[in-house]
Amino acid sequence: MNNLAEMPLDSLLTTHPCVADFFGSLGLATANVPHPLATWLEQLPDEAFFDAGMEREQILTHIKRLIDEIQAMGEADNGQVGSLILIGGRDKSGVAENIQLNLRAGEIVCIVGPTGSGKSRLLGDIECLAQGDTPSGRRVLIDGRPPDDERRYTLDRKLVAQLSQNMNFVVDLSVREFIDMHARCRMVADPEAMTGQVIACANDLTGEKFTAEVSVTQLSGGQTRALMIADAALLSASPIVLIDEIENAGVDRKRALELLVTGEKIVLISTHDPLLALRGDRRIVIRNGGIAEIIVTSDLERRNLERIERLDATIMDIRDRLRRGLRIEEDILWTA
Amino acid sequence: MRLITVAGSPSVGKTSVILRASEILRQEGLKVGIAKFDSLSTSDDKLYAQKSFPVAVGLAGALCPDHYFVSNVEDCMAWGQRQELDILISESAGLCNRCSPHIGGVMAVCVVDALAGVHTPKKIGPMLRLADLVVITKGDIVSQVEREVFAYQTRLANPGARALFCNGITGQGAADLARAIHQAPETDVLEGARLRFPMPAAVCPYCVGETAIGETHQRGNVKKMRFNDRSEAA
């Protein structure tokens, strides 16, 4: 790296496309420059640096850091997380939670409680891998240990991905371009194949199929949700996924959960949807900002879940037929 | 006293983020004050005052806000020392993506808004590229894909800098920011310190009130556009 300044700019740009992007963002023309980087920088007029917003030295340092960073990203090991342990803190009145919750990869736990009871606070604690330094005083251990600072604070390799309820797409890209952009920044080996896989998987989850060419901003709520769940399961860097409610909007929630679990993710869902809440092995009950109870799903509840699933299937079928422009006139059999 | 320069485009959520972090720092027993810089008017001082944080307001009016900032930052320091602050946070709006109030040796924070789109980080100049810490706001209202790509682009725009997500509404992430501020270097005097990069230039007749349009009025530091249908004399 010491001889970076001596490298001919042309070959530097070929070996490190990120440097070409960087010069592009500075508005510096770099086409066909066979001179070494340092010579080229030396020849540029001072005005060019002023317009670019960086000095020569700063540009050299930046390029060096940029190349290091890209290399670090490529080598970064996201690793799997085998377990997450949540050590209780206190509720809003300061009462100790006296609880330790152990979660394993491939496990789904739901969080239930009235609005304002503190479900988001719990998700927030896990999201930031709290170490007794949030108002709740909770602590999170990853694979039995407190996460080191680097794991805690990396930004784009976060351990925790959060699918929030009210998300929007800001970029105006087709679904294919959008997922491809994500795959490339995740540096997966074959971004095109991965993109195809995510889109196929998302279509599997939603009743309303969409093509890869449709713009993400035109997707319905259900399609958006399906796409984000498929992406979180297959492409997201994070081994822990937090979901703030999966609405009923045309997403096959059962398959969505199966998909997330097969990815060996640890999944926490804040929800009151019976299909989700009863599917998990356990559910966390939140009251007054604290974990009031952890309910293990009983056999009776599992039996009821099967009934609810049949009811849900009936409604999904009606929904599908409505979408196709059919009449709903038969005597509906509530087989539950 | 620790001085922290916080900069970011208008409406990205600087004030909310600063308030959230300041409340945490206050709980830790630190006295935090804010110097708020703006162009025409501001009501953010009321938000700070409401939470009982000492606040000083500087309105740049017709001047370039960044030039105004750097001419007044020492006086702000003196104010902060008179208030016996542990931490003085300067808040200024980067209006042209080119501004950079950041000073060598003083912790520099840039606030960017995830809603601005994934291409924004590379469009922002020294304000982001030369910051020590980048705070990304409104991450909760974009998809996690855009959040990851935005973080990646931020990392490329300022490799090696720390970056974090902070939600100004819920305060999620503010504890990380507070911790970083807590670890910032102390600043006792600014005299002799240097800006990390020159501020946007402003020496042409229009800077000092010229309103007439026409070549004869364009003297001093004037730059002309180039058009690709005209052969360049360069």
Domain boundaries, chain A: 2-75, 104-120+150-297
Tell me the CATH number of domain A104-120+150-297, given options 3.40.50.460, 3.30.420.40, 3.40.50.720, 3.40.50.300. 3.40.50.300
Judging contacts by C-beta atoms under 8 Å, the chain A residues touching residue B130 are 54, 58
pLDDT for residue A207: 79
Q: CB distance from A115 to chain B under 8 Å? A: no
Q: Using the beta-carbon criterion (under 8 Å), do A170 and B115 form an inter-chain contact? A: yes
Q: Using the beta-carbon criterion (under 8 Å), do B148 and A236 form an inter-chain contact? A: yes
The span from the CA of B94 to the CA of B102, in Å, is 11
Break chain B into its structural domains and give their ranges. Answer: 2-182
| Helix, strand, coil shares, percent, chain B, to 5 | 35, 20, 45
| A273-326 pLDDT, tens digit each | 888 889 888 999 999 999 999 999 999 999 999 999 888 888 888 988 998 999
Q: Using the beta-carbon criterion (under 8 Å), do A166 and B165 form an inter-chain contact? A: no
Q: CB distance from A61 to chain B under 8 Å? A: no
Task: Return the number of other C-beta atoms located less than 10 Å from residue B120's C-beta.
Answer: 21
Residues of chain B with pLDDT under 50: 233-234
List the single best residue of A167, A175, A184, A217 to mutate versus B (max B Cβ within 10 A).
A167
Chain B's closest residue to A118, CA to CA, is B170
pLDDT for residue B54: 95
A–B: how many Cβ contacts below 8 A? 123
The span from the CA of B213 to the CA of B134, in Å, is 40
The span from the CA of B67 to the CA of B122, in Å, is 23
For residue B51, the SS3 value is coil
Q: CB distance from B42 to chain A under 8 Å? A: no
List the single best residue of A23, A170, A173 to mutate versus B (max B Cβ within 10 A).
A170
Q: CB distance from B159 to chain A under 8 Å? A: yes
Q: Are A32 and A10 in contact (CB under 8 A)?
A: yes
Chain A's closest residue to B126, CA to CA, is A53
| B88-120 pLDDT, tens digit each | 999 988 767 777 889 999 999 999 999 888 888
| B46-81 pLDDT, tens digit each | 999 999 999 999 888 877 788 888 888 889 999 999
Q: Using the beta-carbon criterion (under 8 Å), do B162 and A179 form an inter-chain contact? A: no
Helix (H) or strand (E) holding A108: strand A108-112
**pTM for this model (two decimals):** 0.80
Q: What is the DSSP string of B66-99?
A: HHHHHHHHHHHHHHHHHTT-SEEEEEEE-SSS--
Report the pLDDT averaged over residues A63-73: 85
Q: CB distance from A66 to chain B under 8 Å? A: yes
Which numeric CATH code is attached to B2-182?
3.40.50.300
Q: CB distance from A132 to chain B under 8 Å? A: no
Chain A's closest residue to B113, CA to CA, is A170
Q: Using the beta-carbon criterion (under 8 Å), do B156 and A182 form an inter-chain contact? A: no
pLDDT for residue A25: 83
